[in-house]
């Protein structure tokens, strides 16, 4: 297992002062900026695109930016996000007509490549991808909105994907997204996740540092 990474989702950040808010959450101990791109087509919500990613880089954000594309189609946005400073680009396989090609495209543009599985997406979509992905993101809510409750069946799915990753012998990150809180993060880590997206739990808390410290204290209990 790789070191645990905490990735606040800027979906719950203060958009009116985003650069400063992202700076603050990183200063409070976050590892990665999780960047939720929604198109009001693949998901019923609309957020932001490559210009905002570029704006964060121009503002001076140096942490990895983990772009989660909830868009359909996918490919046209890959070069744009790579040029805008994305570090990791993940997409939903059902939103790409040619999944293998999209993974190649992401890597050709110098980013790490991830696939995202919705709560009801079967693990069989990973069958011919384990040698190609750098990250697998399991959605623990249905994509589109922050502030939803963690779907408990994700724990079993995490255990199964952890086995697949261990069998692959590759350093694939296992990320979980949706309803991650201080009081469930240890259980989620114990099931096999090593990267934790948390939006409302961090950005809606009175102290980012206290919340991230509390999450790390919970993670320290997991061997």
Ligand X SMILES: O=C(CO)[C@@H](O)[C@H](O)COP(=O)(O)O
Kindly list the residues in this chain that would bind ligand X in the complex (CB under 6 A): 9, 11-12, 34, 36, 68, 141, 143-148, 177-180, 197-201
Are the C-beta atoms of residues 146 and 12 closer than 8 Å to each other?
yes
Smallest distance from ligand X to CB 45, Å: 8
Three-class SS state of 70: strand
Smallest distance from ligand X to CB 116, Å: 9
Nearer to ligand X, 9 or 96 (CB): 9
Q: What is the DSSP letter of 27?
A: H
Are the C-beta atoms of residues 41 and 71 closer than 8 Å to each other?
yes
Q: Is 36 annotated as a binding residue?
A: yes
Nearer to ligand X, 143 or 192 (CB): 143
Q: Is 49 annotated as a binding residue?
A: no
Q: Is 48 annotated as a binding residue?
A: no
Nearer to ligand X, 19 or 119 (CB): 119
Q: Is 144 annotated as a binding residue?
A: yes
Three-class SS state of 114: strand
DSSP element (H, E) containing 117: strand 112-117
- Give the position of tokens 């050709």: 108
Q: How far is CA 201 from CA 13, 49, 95, 99, 163, in A?
A: 11, 23, 28, 32, 28
So which residues are the catalytic ones?
36, 177
Smallest distance from ligand X to CB 146, Å: 4
Positions at the binding site: 9, 34, 36, 68, 144-147, 177-179, 199-200
Residue positions forming the annotated binding site for substrate: 9, 68, 144-147, 177-179, 199-200
């Amino acid at each position: 297992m790789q070191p645990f990474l905490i990735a606040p989702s800027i979906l719950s950040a203060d958009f009116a002062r985003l650069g400063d808010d992202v700076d603050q959450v990183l200063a409070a101990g976050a590892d990665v900026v999780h960047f939720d791109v929604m198109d009001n087509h693949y998901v019923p919500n609309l957020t932001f695109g490559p210009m905002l990613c570029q704006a964060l880089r121009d503002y001076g954000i140096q942490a990895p930016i983990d772009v989660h594309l909830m868009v359909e189609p996918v490919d046209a946005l890959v070069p744009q996000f790579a040029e805008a400073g994305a570090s990791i680009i993940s997409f939903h396989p059902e939103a790409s007509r040619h999944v293998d090609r999209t993974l190649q495209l992401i890597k050709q543009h110098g980013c790490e490549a991830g696939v995202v599985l919705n709560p009801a997406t079967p693990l069989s979509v990973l069958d011919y991808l384990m040698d190609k992905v750098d990250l697998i993101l399991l959605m623990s809510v249905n994509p589109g909105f922050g502030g939803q409750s963690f779907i408990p069946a994700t724990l079993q799915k995490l255990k199964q994907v952890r086995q697949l990753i261990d069998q692959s012998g590759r350093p694939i990150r296992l990320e979980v997204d949706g309803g991650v809180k201080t009081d469930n993060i240890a259980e989620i880590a114990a099931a096999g996740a090593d990267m934790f997206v948390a939006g409302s739990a961090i950005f809606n808390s009175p102290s980012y540092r206290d919340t991230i410290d509390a999450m790390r204290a919970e993670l320290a209990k997991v061997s």
